[in-house]
Structures are given as C-alpha cells and as structure tokens.
A and B are shown apart, each in its own frame.
Chain A
C-alpha cells in the first residue's frame, strides 16, 4: 500500500526552528517527486515546493522560496520541510504529496499524507 506518513503536530514559539517529516512506503521513493502543500486555517491549498530525492533537485513556489527548506534522505525514504525561524503566520496544516509530472507544465498530486499541524504562537 502506498503511504506517506507524516510526523506529528507541533506547537512552537515565534523564532524557533522546526523540521517536519514525511516517510513514504509502497513505492520507489527516488522515482517520484515529493512535494509539500500548505493549508492555512479555514483557507485553500497552496503548493510550496517539491524535491526529487534521487538527486535532491528542488523547485519552490516563489512565495515560499527562502522561507522554508525542502530536503530528503533517500536512505530512509523520507522528505523534510524545515523552517529556521517560525512566524505566527506559519500556523497551518502541511501536507506531504507524491507528485506526478506528466510533463514540464502538467503536474498533479496523486497521494497525500494526513498532514502535520504546525501551530506557532507566543
């Protein structure tokens, strides 16, 4: 069974760092791009970025470039999303997704993790 298992909910203070994880199983991790999607409270979906675990190539939504870092450890089939300094506005659910790239201008997200709730408050 294809699964993306995300790490648990986090409660942090502004300025703190954080790294959340997404461990995949049921398919070859290095054969697919893995991405992250943000959903702020009561809002819609926003694509943040993706990584190709085989060579760690990344692409970011310009809105998130420099704000987060996406990485992967192919030895344990795990992708990561990290912040160096959280802000209250980072409060959201973050979904890990498997990315299907039909070609350069057609992507979609066929498998979703259950999400990691990140709460940032002083």
Chain B
C-alpha cells in the first residue's frame, strides 16, 4: 500500500522558518493536505490542496509542492506553533485517504 513519510521531528528557533516535509511515491501527482495538532487538542486543517489556506489560518503557513517531498513552510515561527503536523494524501492503491506519521515541531 501507499506509504507517506514524514520526519519525526523538526526544531527551529523563534522567528526562523520551519520546513516540514511529506514524501511518497509520485506525491507530486497527488493533492496534499496539512493538519496541525497542538497538545491535547483536535487537529486543525492549515493547508489543503497543496497550497490553499482555510480562512483564519495565518499567511505564515504555506504549502509548497514542486516535486517530492511536498512541504509545509511556517515563517516567523512562534512558540504557539509547537505542535504535531500531519500531511494527508489519497492512497490510490487502496482507494482511501492516508496520513503521514506526523512531525513534531519544537520551538527552541
């Protein structure tokens, strides 16, 4: 079945840019969606369809997909951005959505 890979953790200093990656076979042909899950809270959609932000999501969050991997970029990182970030794509092999394993963002 399709496998979505994410690095387990990323650390970044406040004010810097965080890059969170999402890889998979032919991922450039799939729509990638990103979710943020803060500790003890439900996930929140932050980017859908590779690059689109839902209303209320700061412009600091942006999705980029120009190949493999797809990336979620968070500019001017703040302490409040500490969270787990999950990417999600369509698993064509099994005809269902599938999540990556998640990346924990730590703000130093």
Q: Does B bind A?
A: yes
Chain A CB within 10 A, most for which of B33, B42, B95, B98: B42
Residues of B within 8 A of A114 (CB): 41-42
**A107 CB contact (under 8 Å) in B41, B90, B92, B94:** B90
Instruction: Report, as a range, how many residues of chain B touch the other chain.
Output: 20 to 34
User: In the complex the two chains form, what is the Cα distance from A100 to B31 in whole Å?
Assistant: 13
* CB nearest neighbor in B for A62: B94
Name B's A-contacting residues (CB within 8 A): 30-31, 33, 35, 41-45, 48-49, 54, 86, 88, 90, 92, 94-102
Chain A 35-54 near chain B by CB (<8 Å), digits 1 or 0: 00100000011110000000
Q: Say whether chain A's binding surface is mostly helix, strand, loop, or mixed.
A: strand
Is the pair B43, A112 in contact by a Cβ cutoff of 8 Å?
Answer: yes
Instruction: Report, as a range, how many residues of chain A touch the other chain.
Output: 20 to 34
A-B contact pairs, 16 of them (CB 8 A): A37-B43, A44-B86, A44-B100, A44-B102, A45-B43, A45-B99, A47-B96, A47-B98, A62-B96, A105-B92, A106-B90, A107-B90, A108-B49, A109-B45, A112-B43, A112-B45
